[in-house]
Amino acid sequence: MNALARGMLPLAAVAVASIELSGCFTSQPPLIGKEQADYSFKTIKMRDDQGKEVELTRDGDSYVFTELANGKVERNILLYKINENVFAAQIAEGNHAAYYFAKKDGNALTLQAKCDNLEDDELRELNLAFGAWPDPSCNLENLDALIRLGQSAAIWSRDTRKVEIITIE
């Protein structure tokens, strides 16, 4: 897995540092530009099942992710609205990007950051291939692939995490 994917924990970590980043969704180059990004909220504060609180705050034309207990910050996060309740978060560094998905369900978010739990037939249906070690990830070729993935029931069926939305502005 590249250093970018290992070092990030945003929107999917939109809540929780407990989300493993192995098997994450990636692309070269980044798929979401600032002109395609969604800015539906100014700030969202969340809490995971262990009480860890995080915040995602708009800063100009991107978002900043902050772990409130230790002040750890991740910058330049872009959100893409797939549909009314599903977003993709892109964290890019140079020509590489990693993606996380969040689905709003009432006062909670269901988070998905891993593709290594998809079955071979699901990967084929989504036109994805799971890379082998040392780079175990699913590479997304274009924005349409990102949208199809966020709309797919397969990624929401297992290995997800839930976080509580505390406030949203």
pLDDT tens per residue, range 112-131 = 877 766 777 777 777 676 66
Residue 23: predicted pLDDT:
47
pLDDT over 70 at 15, yes or no: no
pLDDT over 50 at 20, yes or no: no
pLDDT over 60 at 84, yes or no: yes
Residue 89: predicted pLDDT:
92
The owner of tokens 């891993």 is: 114
Burial 72-110 (b: 16+ CB within 10 A, else e): eebebbbbbebeeebbbbbbbeeebbbbbbbbeeeeebb
Which two structure tokens, joined as six digits, stand for 106?
């009432």
Pairing outcome for strands 108-112 and 138-139: unpaired
Tell me the residue type at 162.
Answer: K
pTM: 0.80
